[in-house]
Each structure stands twice: as C-alpha cells, then as structure tokens.
Chains A and B, each alone.
Chain A
Amino acid sequence: MRDKFSPMRPIKSAQLKQTRFPRVAIALRLAGFLLLLPGHLLSAQNVPIVSGAVGFFDSKNTGINFFQPVFAPVVVAPLGKHFLAESRFDLRGFYARKNGNSGPYQGTYIGSTQYLQLDYFATDKLTITGGRFLTPFGTYNERLTAIWIPKLQDGPLIFPIGTRTTGSSNGAMVRGALIAKPSFHLNYIGYFSASSDAAQFQAGRAAGYRFDAYFPNKRVEVGTSYGRFLQGTHNNSSGAHFWWLPYRFPLEVRSEYAHGAHAQGYWIESTYRLSQWRGPDSLFGRLEPVFRMQQTFRNSPGPGDGLPAADTKQADFGLDYHLPHEVRLNTSYSRKLSAAGNGNIWDISLTYRFLFPMWRGHQ
C-alpha cells in the first residue's frame, strides 16, 4: 500500500529534458528505483522514511535584507540487512533587493545535493560509505547543518575550514567505533574525496580523518579532525572540538577550533532551554536562549577561502521558541567587530520538521 507521498511514480523522459537540474532528476530516479526493491526485503519496522524540513529564513546583514524559503527533504531507505541508502537535498530561493538596500526584490533558485550515499554495515565496528557524503571535518557540518537542528540560523565563521569546497565529498568513507564500552567510546572516521565540477555534485579532491572520544555517562565529547586539500595548492586543515551536554539540566555547550592554511578561529556556543520552569511544554519552557562567541584570525591573505578578510570577532545572541508540532521559531542578533568594518546581523526563521513513513508497510 502506497500513499500519495510515494515518489515511486516514474519520471518521464520529457520531464527530464525540461528540468533545469537533470542530475537531480537522475538522482531522484535512482532513488525511486532503489525504493522499488521487493517488499520482502523490508521488514515491518524498516519502511523507508521521508523526513526533512521546510523553513523560511529572513536575514538583515549590515543593512542588506534578504530572505530564503527552503525545502530540505531527506530520504532514508534500508536495503536488505546490511545496506542503507540515504540522501538530503537543499532547495532554496534567495531573494534580495536589486541594488543591495533599494530597488525591487529579485530572486534566484539554488539547489544542491548535500548527500546521496550508500552505507554498508560491514561489521559492528566498521561502516563503509560510498557516494556523496557530508565532509566529516569538525562537528558542525555533519551534525548541525540540517536546517531544523542549529539553534542559530547562521553557521560559524570558521565553517569553510576543512569543508572545502562545498561541505560535501564524493568518494568513500569508513567509520565506526574502535572502542564501544558503556562509559567510553572511541570513534573514527576516514575519507577520501575526488574532485568534481558537476553542477549538483561539486567537491574538492581531499582526504582526512576525525577521531573523537565520547563519555556517554557525562555526555562529554572531545575530538580532533584533519583534512588535506589535494587539488591546486595543497594545504592542511586541522581542528578540535569539545561538547558537553549535562543530563542534570538542559544546558548544551558546543565548541570548535579550526586552523586552516591562511586563517584560524573558534566558536563556542551554549544554549539553555528553560524547561525546568513548569516543563518543556509550558509557555516559558519552550524558550531557549542561545549565545555564541566566535573569532577568526587572518594569518595571511587567502582569497576564496571563505573566511573574513580581516580579524573578526562576533557575538551572537539568540532566542528560540519551540512551538508544538515540530515548529520552531529562531531569532538572533549578532554584533560583528572587524577591521574591515563593524556590523549588525538580525535573523529570524521559522522551520517545520517532518518525519513519516514512505508507505504503510506491513503491520
């Protein structure tokens, strides 16, 4: 039994020719084909899921206003006992005034395939991934870029370090746990990415790894990342992260440091949901103040590396409100101080997260 959301209807050739992004259409067709696998491969609990979020982002950055409607669907489908196919796309419009802060609004459409990967669970401690995946440098890119997750709308300033060129890699990745005890995990990830200029699958040639030590009883994690960019001028990126999310109270502390070829920087973010006042579903319990401090230091000119051209420090103050039914309102104010110019950034966004089975499946 399939419901109306099933993407299993075949895409006609004419539609493929008409679309502006044929590779997305091909990817969707491939995903549809995979989902047409015999039903007996899927047990009652393994029905493919459609998840993701829709959102509306508005931002005013040093006087220039722009807004973005976003649709970010995720499709996850188990294939047999050892495989998992998963993908995430980001489809967004970008609307800004023609002359910066005057003139009519005009927009462009931006579509990207953030990941389209096949995971093979080889052993309990080894998973092999092939395809397009999120570059596992640091923590932000892999864990916090889904639009329904981050507590602040804008990513950290050091995000481009280690994630060039697009935050995604095309190639292979191995990951797993070297040690997995109840009180201690030692996890590893290693990857290689090939260079690609294809419109929906841009990636840089790179290789790298990440190790992290995690203490589940304390919810404390420390880790280190390394990446080597292997095209053009080769260079290294390295980083470290520290997370602490105590069980006793709803405080979350996340931080990262990264060092690139021409710049370095850090961010530290703390959030505290007011759920201890009358519970997480109360009027005040749905509020979540957020604070992030971040800095970048420019060591040498690095045109095109995506980081601020001059030393920058920025304080972000956010206030999120968790509405019922997976709707969240994020607001924030940021003050940026830089030799290249100071500025204010105001953000407001509304996101709705969804998660449902692709079809009814067996009961």
Chain B
Amino acid sequence: MKNVRSCSKYAVLPLAIFLLGSLLAWAQAATSGQSAGQTPSTKQAKTAATNPGERVFQANCGRCHNPPEQISPRITGTVLRHMRERALLSPQDERDLLKFLAP
C-alpha cells in the first residue's frame, strides 16, 4: 500500500507540469496568432493540411526527428524505404511522401 501511495503522489508532479506546459503552449499559440497573424509555423501547418506529402512527413518522420535541411533527389527513394520500415508507412503515404520530397 505504501508503494502505491508513493506512486500516486509522485505521479501528480509530472502530470501537473505536463498540464501547465500544455496550457502555456496553448495560450502562446493563441496570442501569437492574434498579434502576428500567420507565423511560419501556422503557415506550415496550413500548408500541411493541403499538401498530403508534407502532412505524411510531419505525421510520421517528424514524430521522432526534425527534417534534414536538404535531401538530394538521388536519395529520396532510399530515404522512403528507410522510413517505410521505421515508421511503417502505408503505400499511399509512401507515394505522397515521394511527391513531396521529389516533386
């Protein structure tokens, strides 16, 4: 019982920090949107909504790492296969991503 109580007590701290962080992030997103109009991030998000390939990149590759600054067109197929294995991309995702990386 003691262990259970200590677990629940300590679990409150990260949960509170997580909620606080989320709240701050939300508030900042809202204020930056009002004051500065479209920031690059929001622009990118809107682009992603219309560009399936970029959306696939953000949804899969971008979960773990930032995108490289540039990808040579000669290696897009290789990168795709690597991501297919790592991120378990569907064939449709793969096609969309290829169009995005090598338009």
Contact = CB atoms under 8 A, between A and B. Distances in A.
Q: Is the interface of B mostly helix, strand, loop or mixed?
A: helix
Interface string B50-77: 0000010011101111101101111111
Contact of A121 (B42, B84, B98): B84
Interface string B1-28: 0010011001101100110011011101
Interface size class of B (residues with CB under 8 A): 35 or more
Interface stretch (A64-72, A163-171, A224-232, A291-299): A291-299
Interface string A172-216: 000111001010010100000000000000000000000000001
A247 interface: yes
A324 B70 CA distance: 12
B102 to A, nearest CB: 6
Interface in A267-323: 268, 270, 272, 275-280, 291, 293, 295, 297, 313, 322
A45 B21 contact: no
Given A45-B102, A251-B25, A360 B63 contact: no
Interface stretch (A12-20, A21-29, A101-109, A141-149): A141-149
Contacts of B22: 251, 253
A46 B3 contact: no
Given A326-B69, A355-B68, A357-B72, A84 B63 contact: no
B65 A149 contact: yes
A185 B88 CA distance: 9
B103 interface: no
Contact of A175 (B42, B62, B81, B85): B85
Contact of A177 (B10, B55, B88): B88
A70 B68 CA distance: 20
A124 B90 contact: yes
A177 B74 contact: no
Contact of B78 (A76, A124, A326): A76
A44 B22 CA distance: 44
Contacts of A245: 62-63
A291 B77 contact: no
A275 B40 contact: yes
A49 to B, nearest CB: 5
A276 B29 CA distance: 7
Contacts of A279: 39-41
Nearest to A186: B88
B25 to A, nearest CB: 4
Contact of B21 (A121, A148, A291): A291
A249 B26 contact: yes
Given A84-B85, A221-B63, A355-B71, A249 B17 contact: no
A127 interface: yes
A243 B63 contact: yes
Contacts of A187: 88
Interface of B: 3, 6-7, 10-11, 13-14, 17-18, 21-22, 24-26, 28-29, 32, 39-42, 45, 48, 55, 58-60, 62-66, 68-69, 71-79, 81-82, 84-86, 88, 90-93, 98, 102
16 contacts: A45-B77, A84-B81, A121-B81, A127-B84, A149-B64, A219-B58, A243-B63, A247-B45, A270-B18, A275-B41, A276-B39, A277-B32, A279-B39, A324-B69, A353-B68, A355-B75
